[in-house]
Structure 1
Amino acid sequence: MNIFPSTPLAGLRVIEMGQLIAGPFAGKTLGDFGAEVIKIEPPGAGDPLRNWRLLRHGTSVWWQVQSRNKRSLALDLRAAEGQDVARRLIAEADVLIENFKPGTLEGWGLAPERLQALNPGLIILRISGYGQTGPYRDRPGFGVVGEAMGGLRHLTAEPGRVPVRVGVSIGDTLAALHGVIGVLLALHHRTAHGGAGQVIDVALHEAVFNCMESLIPEYSAFGAVREPAGSALPGIAPSNAYPCQDGWVLVAGNGDSIFKRLMTAIGRDDLGGAPDLADNAGRVARVAEIDAAIGAWTQPRTVRAVLDALTAARVPAGKVYTARDIAEDPHYQARDMLLAQATRDGDTLTVPGIVPKLSATPGGVRASAPHLGEDSEAVLRELGLSAEQIAALRQRGIVQ
């Protein structure tokens, strides 16, 4: 049971069947705020994320973040005995998370209607490439494909050049966060309206599309197709990245009064006082001229000098941070966004802190990421299985 009752999700039991990014990120987020998360992994290699990117002691350091505050049950869901164990677990759970291809749960005899017949209050979060319905539902989908279909990838490029990745798996993460919102909404509804659960259907491309701002209304009203604009913010000026002696700064001088202060700071009161530049529409018409003026001012200066001057002028500006910049930044440290987290291999890693920050019931790291199947026996004993039954499952390879 959860031993941190001050956390907002204390007492909530979550079964996570997903792997890699979207489903497990949703489980991580719930776990950070006190939910008991039991992660079911296939015996053998477990979740492939254990072996992604940079490894330490044979395990991905990404895994240490994604699977903190979770317990690991290595269970073969392709076997009937494994499916029986899963049903027993789910019968006592509040939330089930899965991010398999549509139809996978049904093929295992774990269709939502069957599970909710066992547990009417069960909330099921299903994350997939294209959703559980529609003509594309059976297509395989990853986050990068969702980013493309959702409209994001088309915009992440310099004009005329190849669209590029954002740099992280943003499609998966956005889907996970939408899924967490859905779980919290469903929990509220369950409490307020008689205890019934429901199914939450999140498609990767829809989560991305939901964040695309005015993309479709502009097409609807004007037939306008937004095109790549590099580091600029199309239709809003000035807002861009500008070169310095030793790097780049982002400057957002697009508010009317901010623009005047920015022009004073760079010695261009002629632009700051120009009547046709007093509002955004006028500035957009002359954006190339404004960007050139700002770039001419930043280029001979260091990033530090530019930021000091613009901070003094109350103009929003910032450095383009690397991992080193983040790790050494005092603001990150002051807000507990860089946590020292012990691993079960005896290391200590610096990992991202908890977001969002709640004043009365903050989240936290209660347990480091588990080894594969580390909690299998304990979870099965809590279900009421005897030592002999557990040994038999282990001998047949159903449990590791």
Structure 2
Amino acid sequence: MTSQHKQAAPAGPLEGVRVIDLSAVLMGPYATQIFGDHGADVIKIESPEGDSTRWIGPGRHPGMGPLFLHLNRNKRSVALDLKSPEGAAAMRRLIEGADVFVHNLRPASIARLGLDYESISMINPRIIWCGVYGYGEDGPYAGRPAYDDLIQGAVGIAALQQQSGASEPRYVPLTIADRMVGLHAAHSVAMALYGRERNGRGCRIDVPMFETMASVVLSDHLYGRTFEPPSGDAGYVRLLSPGRRPYETSDGYICALVYNDGHWQRFLHAIERDDLRVDPRFADLASRTRHIDEVYGFLGQTLRVQSTAHWLALFEQIDVPAVPLNTVESLLDDPHLAAVGFFRQVEHPSEGAMRTFGAPARWVGYDVSKLAPAPRLGEHTESVLRECGFDASALASLLGSGAAAPFLTDAEVSA
């Protein structure tokens, strides 16, 4: 695999892989962040205005918001105007030496830029081309815009929230569709790279949000509609029970999962309810699932009478999984995360001291600890283009025409 960008050994498993990242906002950048975390040389192509997530959230300097900082670490920023002939030509030069091309533009837009798979594969037949967008090209929704909220609604997640007890349909307060689809894109590209090592061929990968998230939702909730004719309704009843929630205790909340037969036998014995150990509703997983609202109702009433500390100690004693209820704020002080070194204090060249976190998977034999700071807009425009063969005159022409944007310091922006 090709790369002109040197990294210190021992390197991540994707060392030597060059990724051209023409994605913005969250879904595509999350996938390419994973590549960068594992050693790939990720070149983030931005318009001269920059990725819109640069301006989301409280920041110390314009264009360096917290979402952008977390999603775009271990990347280099090149600012190009791809609608200009010179910018498009520079992009083609970058693609010549790349292994992977990722974008999240709609198919019509990527074709207008001349960056569709057919055009790119003529430049670089070994390229792994990955398009991440709303809907597959074979259906009536092809080309429609898509965002996390819209996809959550379209695949039933918002309705499931109401079905499980919310007063109205609600989106999950996470960019869950963007993250899940980004993960699918990352593992699809990794498999394509492995395939290319065996057969030498590049390929095209389309990762549609709607179909990807429909498969995630239906894997749980197709349920009785799996069979023809149906054996029951759609919807995994345990997940939809209003009682499936953190349980109130006498002084707070606890998250506990009394789930398998052993859990229930030990729990009922510990609370001196041996009568329920022979109750058919509690007899086995299938029966408890059929009576899930009653089962969860019983747990809710039982746990309310003692403190969180009492139940945590008991559950640990009888080997039933349980944890305290964290908030995002208390998660920052979680003792396990502290012990495993989850959080990292880093110094960003413009933003100063930052709290961040690295790749969660642990590797033996590879170093995935690199945390290069998220780039400032156009920070690497000139250095990357020089690597690709642009001499001083060609580079000056690109910058002078506005086809490429140079990196400007805060002082230069303010001047």
Q: TM-score range by the shorter chain?
A: over 0.9
Per-residue deviation at 1:258? 0.9
1:181 maps to which of 187, 205, 228: 187
Q: Which moved more, 1:238-247 or 1:11-20?
A: 238-247
1:79 maps to which of 73, 76, 84: 84
Matched position secondary structure for 2:256 = strand
Per-residue deviation at 1:205? 1.6
How far does the alpha carbon of each residue in 1:344-383 deviate from its partner, in whole angstroms, 9 at most, with x for none?
2252222233132222224223410110000001011111
| Alpha-carbon distance between aligned partners in 2 of 1:76 and 1:319, rounded to the nearest angstrom | 50
Residue 55 (structure 2) aligns with: 51
Task: Give the alignment of 1:346-365 within 5 angstroms.
Answer: 346-365=351-370
1:306 maps to which of 304, 307, 311: 311
Q: Which moved more, 1:200-209 or 1:64-73?
A: 200-209
| Alpha-carbon distance between aligned partners in 2 of 1:318 and 1:141, rounded to the nearest angstrom | 36
Q: Which moved more, 1:326-335 or 1:215-224?
A: 215-224
Task: Give the alignment of 1:101-180 within 5 angstroms.
Answer: 101-157=106-162, 158-159=164-165, 161-180=167-186
Q: Which moved more, 1:1-10 or 1:264-273?
A: 264-273
| Alpha-carbon distance between aligned partners in 2 of 1:216 and 1:284, rounded to the nearest angstrom | 16
Residue 233 (structure 1) aligns with: 239
2:224 maps to which of 212, 218, 223: 218
1:379 maps to which of 380, 384, 392: 384
- Give the counterpart letter for 2:287 in structure 1: G
- Give the counterpart letter for 1:356 in structure 2: A
| Unmatched 5+ stretches in structure 2 | 406-415
| Alpha-carbon distance between aligned partners in 1 of 2:101 and 2:343, rounded to the nearest angstrom | 30
| Unmatched 5+ stretches in structure 1 | none
Residue 258 (structure 2) aligns with: 253
| Alpha-carbon distance between aligned partners in 2 of 1:357 and 1:241, rounded to the nearest angstrom | 30
| Alpha-carbon distance between aligned partners in 2 of 1:182 and 1:41, rounded to the nearest angstrom | 24
Work out whether residues 238 and 254 of structure 1, in 8 Å CA contact, stay in contact via their aligned partners in 2.
Answer: no
Work out whether residues 152 and 208 of structure 1, in 8 Å CA contact, stay in contact via their aligned partners in 2.
Answer: no
Matched position secondary structure for 1:156 = helix
How far does the alpha carbon of each residue in 1:277-297 deviate from its partner, in whole angstroms, 9 at most, with x for none?
221232234434432332223
Matched position secondary structure for 1:210 = helix
Residue 191 (structure 1) aligns with: 197
| Alpha-carbon distance between aligned partners in 2 of 1:223 and 1:60, rounded to the nearest angstrom | 50
- Give the counterpart letter for 2:57 in structure 1: R
For the aligned residue pairs, the C-alpha RMSD in angstroms reads: 2.2
Per-residue deviation at 1:268? 2.3
Per-residue deviation at 1:160? 6.6
Matched position secondary structure for 1:211 = helix
| Alpha-carbon distance between aligned partners in 2 of 1:227 and 1:32, rounded to the nearest angstrom | 37
Task: Give the alignment of 1:31-70 within 5 angstroms.
Answer: 31-44=36-49, 46-58=50-62, 59-70=64-75
Matched position secondary structure for 1:81 = helix
Per-residue deviation at 1:91? 0.9
CA distance 1:246–1:70, shift in 2 (3 Å):
farther
Task: Give the alignment of 1:191-210 within 5 angstroms.
Answer: 191-193=197-199, 195-210=200-215
- Give the counterpart letter for 2:60 in structure 1: R
Superposition TM-score, scaled by structure 2 size: 0.89
User: Deviation above 6 Å: which 4+ runs of structure 1?
Assistant: none
- Give the counterpart letter for 2:169 in structure 1: P
Work out whether residues 242 and 249 of structure 1, in 8 Å CA contact, stay in contact via their aligned partners in 2.
Answer: yes
Q: Which moved more, 1:289-298 or 1:180-189?
A: 289-298
Superposition TM-score, scaled by structure 1 size: 0.92
| Alpha-carbon distance between aligned partners in 2 of 1:317 and 1:238, rounded to the nearest angstrom | 16
| Alpha-carbon distance between aligned partners in 2 of 1:188 and 1:209, rounded to the nearest angstrom | 27
Work out whether residues 153 and 171 of structure 2, in 8 Å CA contact, stay in contact via their aligned partners in 1.
Answer: no
Matched position secondary structure for 1:57 = coil
Residue 33 (structure 2) aligns with: 28
CA distance 1:238–1:135, shift in 2 (3 Å):
closer
Q: Which moved more, 1:155-164 or 1:347-356?
A: 155-164
Matched position secondary structure for 1:37 = strand
Work out whether residues 179 and 202 of structure 1, in 8 Å CA contact, stay in contact via their aligned partners in 2.
Answer: yes
| Alpha-carbon distance between aligned partners in 2 of 1:313 and 1:341, rounded to the nearest angstrom | 41
CA distance 1:362–1:268, shift in 2 (3 Å):
farther
Work out whether residues 220 and 235 of structure 2, in 8 Å CA contact, stay in contact via their aligned partners in 1.
Answer: no
| Alpha-carbon distance between aligned partners in 1 of 2:371 and 2:297, rounded to the nearest angstrom | 51
Per-residue deviation at 1:26? 0.6
Q: Which moved more, 1:342-351 or 1:29-38?
A: 342-351
Give aligned-pair identity as a percent.
Answer: 31
| Alpha-carbon distance between aligned partners in 2 of 1:257 and 1:16, rounded to the nearest angstrom | 49
| Alpha-carbon distance between aligned partners in 2 of 1:53 and 1:169, rounded to the nearest angstrom | 15
| Alpha-carbon distance between aligned partners in 2 of 1:203 and 1:335, rounded to the nearest angstrom | 35
Per-residue deviation at 1:305? 2.8
Matched position secondary structure for 1:40 = strand
Are 1:291 and 2:296 an aligned pair? yes
